[in-house]
């Protein structure tokens, strides 16, 4: 047999399109050609595969070898095709029988000794293989991660020799049992009880958690903005199975998935020097950015005005759509980005404008320029703006410990259960038509909102966001419809601080 076909998978965002590794042996001077739009890492597979076959005590064919990675117009990257190429050469040369070759897919990088090394993105590969009805042969170090894919038949292997013994029918590879991971313990998650005082900010954080709303905290340095942001994940409900798999698949693309964090809401806090590509995703081979790694979790942007203006403007579309599309000349990838934005900023460059005891040294022009770094359209997409003022020493010492995260989380879970039963999504994700259907306030609330729209000159987007927040407040209060109290509080969150 001089021709062998082996199935594998490429990566295109969260998708894993099928790749057929076609290996042909022909007479002629010894050569090894690798075609099918491979990148540098894939082309280097020729040397890895040759050494791995020889050190595994097989004969590397001294013939003209052509390996085609089909389809030819799909870019291929990484060392994930090493195992499939090696198996194809051994089957085509008759050294391996290839029993059950058609019912399996192969993914893994080979070391020069023939051992298999872990590759990134195996969760997306395992999900695609399960949909295709084939078993997945992959490195043992990736087995636990791949087993998270529902319906996947995962066959872990430690080396090329083990794979060949399986294909020859000598020693079958073991089947990795389905994952039975429990939600990560909340013991290491910061507790809201650590925050003294700041009752308004604590209330806003609970509202943000209940409706998955974006929030910005505004105040002098050292008042607890970062502490509050770090405690938001502890207020959110445990991720569902589908959310957990999607989040794990994104971390798998980066090679960062940790089973110890299974079903734990991610918390991402990039530095303000982060580029647009680092935040929203990019690269010649599109990779997920921070907003996608924060999917179903929290994205915390501290010192918001210090971020590059173009970087912040890139957040506007994902905040609305919950997804980001990274387009390149030859590649296009879409990543989910249903993150909850938490932003924090100081009132001025020195941080002490409006401070009760410390003097601000900034001129009005400096303050205006500093606040102007955050555009109006971006602010319009933030549901809650809350002031986190400086507390006097006496207030801080005398303040009693507040509620812990567990008590608040129970109210948040109850409110979210109401939302999901009523409309199928959290309030922050309601479309315009759904807002009219589910968020209409009572007569007093409607009259108050009409006055606010006229006096505050609010945009149509702000109008809908006020209604969504009012709906969340009503859910927390157990009210059937938002009333005047809920509408007034929602309006206050949009104008509590004039950050512009």
Tokens (6 digits) for 382 = 């933030």
pTM above 0.85, yes or no: yes
* Least-confidence region, from 186-195, 266-275, 298-307, 485-494: 186-195
Task: Strand 340-345: give its sheet, edge to edge.
Answer: 267-268, 298-301, 340-345, 215-218, 384-387
Q: pLDDT grade, residue 496 (50/70/90)?
A: very low
* pLDDT beyond 60 at 499: no
* Least-confidence region, from 247-251, 256-260, 304-308: 256-260
Tokens (6 digits) for 419 = 């939302």
Residues 330-386: tens digit of each pLDDT = 778 889 999 999 999 999 999 888 788 888 999 999 999 998 899 888 988 899 999
Q: pLDDT grade, residue 181 (50/70/90)?
A: low
* pLDDT beyond 90 at 266: yes
Q: pLDDT grade, residue 1 (50/70/90)?
A: low
Average pLDDT over residues 426-438: 90
Residues 120-179: tens digit of each pLDDT = 999 999 999 999 999 999 999 999 899 988 889 999 999 999 999 999 999 999 999 987
- Rg of the chain in Å (alpha carbons): 28
**Where is mean pLDDT largest: 162-176, 396-410, 452-466?**
162-176
What's the confidence (pLDDT) of residue 108? 96
* Least-confidence region, from 272-276, 283-287, 300-304: 283-287
Average pLDDT over residues 258-287: 88
**Where is mean pLDDT largest: 206-215, 235-244, 321-330?**
206-215
CATH superfamily placement of domain 192-426: P-loop containing nucleotide triphosphate hydrolases (3.40.50.300)
Supply the mean pLDDT for the chain.
Answer: 90
* pLDDT beyond 90 at 458: no
* pLDDT beyond 90 at 497: no
Secondary structure element (H or E) that encloses residue 6, with its range:
strand 3-9
* pLDDT beyond 80 at 186: no
* pLDDT beyond 90 at 60: yes
Return the CATH fold of 3-167. Answer: Ribosomal Protein S5; domain 2 (3.30.230)
Q: pLDDT grade, residue 255 (50/70/90)?
A: confident
d(C-alpha 337, C-alpha 323), whole Å:
5
What are the structural domain ranges in the chain?
3-167, 192-426, 430-500
* Least-confidence region, from 140-154, 210-224, 246-260, 261-275: 246-260
* pLDDT beyond 90 at 460: no
What's the confidence (pLDDT) of residue 182? 66
Average pLDDT over residues 97-119: 95
Q: What is the DSSP letter of 157?
A: E
d(C-alpha 53, C-alpha 68), whole Å:
19
* pLDDT beyond 60 at 455: yes
Omega of the bond leading into 71 within 30 degrees of 0 (cis): yes
Average pLDDT over residues 302-314: 93
- Going from the C-alpha of 106 to that of each of 11, 80, 219, 226, 316, the distances in angstroms are 14, 8, 54, 45, 40
């Amino acid at each position: 047999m001089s021709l062998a076909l082996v199935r594998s998978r490429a990566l295109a965002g969260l998708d894993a399109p099928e790749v057929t590794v076609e290996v042909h042996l022909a007479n002629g001077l010894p050569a090894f050609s690798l075609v099918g739009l491979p990148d540098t890492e894939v082309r280097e597979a020729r040397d890895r595969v040759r050494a791995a076959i020889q050190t595994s005590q097989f004969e590397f064919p001294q013939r003209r070898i052509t390996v085609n990675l089909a389809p030819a117009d799909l870019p291929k990257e990484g060392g994930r095709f090493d195992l499939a190429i090696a198996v194809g050469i051994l089957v085509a040369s008759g050294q391996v029988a290839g029993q059950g070759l058609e019912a399996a897919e192969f993914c893994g990088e080979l070391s020069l000794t023939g051992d298999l090394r872990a590759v990134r993105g195996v969760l997306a590969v395992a999900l695609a293989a399960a949909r295709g009805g084939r078993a997945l042969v992959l490195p043992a170090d990736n087995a636990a991660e791949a087993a998270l894919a529902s319906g996947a038949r995962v066959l872990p292997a430690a080396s090329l020799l083990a794979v060949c013994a399986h294909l020859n029918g000598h020693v079958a590879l073991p089947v990795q049992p389905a994952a039975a991971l429990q939600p990560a313990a909340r013991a290491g998650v910061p507790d809201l009880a650590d925050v003294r005082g700041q009752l308004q900010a604590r209330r806003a954080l609970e509202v943000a958690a209940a409706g998955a709303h974006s929030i910005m905290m505004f105040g002098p340095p050292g008042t607890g903005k970062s502490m509050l942001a770090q405690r938001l994940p502890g207020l959110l409900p445990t991720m569902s199975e589908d959310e957990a798999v999607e989040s794990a698949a994104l971390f798998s693309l980066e090679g960062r998935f940790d089973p110890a964090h299974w079903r734990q809401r991610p918390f991402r806090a990039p530095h303000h020097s982060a580029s647009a590509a680092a935040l929203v995703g990019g690269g010649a081979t599109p990779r997920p950015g921070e907003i996608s790694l924060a999917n179903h979790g929290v994205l915390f942007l501290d010192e918001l005005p210090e971020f590059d203006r173009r970087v912040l403007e890139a957040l506007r579309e994902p905040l609305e759509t919950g997804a980001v599309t990274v387009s390149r000349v030859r590649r296009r990838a879409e990543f989910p980005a249903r993150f909850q934005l938490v932003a924090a900023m100081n009132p001025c460059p020195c941080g002490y404008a409006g401070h009760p005891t410390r003097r601000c040294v900034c001129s009005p022009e400096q303050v205006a320029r500093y606040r102007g770094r955050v555009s109006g359209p971006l602010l319009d997409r933030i549901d809650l703006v809350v002031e986190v003022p400086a507390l006097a020493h006496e207030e801080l010492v005398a303040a009693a410990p507040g509620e812990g995260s567990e008590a608040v989380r129970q109210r948040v879970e109850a409110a979210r259960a109401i939302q999901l039963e009523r409309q199928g999504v959290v309030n922050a994700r309601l479309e315009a038509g759904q807002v009219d259907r589910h968020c209409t306030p009572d007569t007093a609330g409607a009259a108050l909102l009409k006055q606010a729209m006229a006096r505050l000159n609010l945009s149509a987007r702000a109008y809908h966001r006020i209604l969504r927040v009012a709906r969340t407040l009503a859910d927390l209060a157990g009210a059937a419809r938002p009333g005047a109290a809920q509408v007034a509080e929602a309006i206050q969150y949009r104008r509590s601080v004039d950050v512009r």
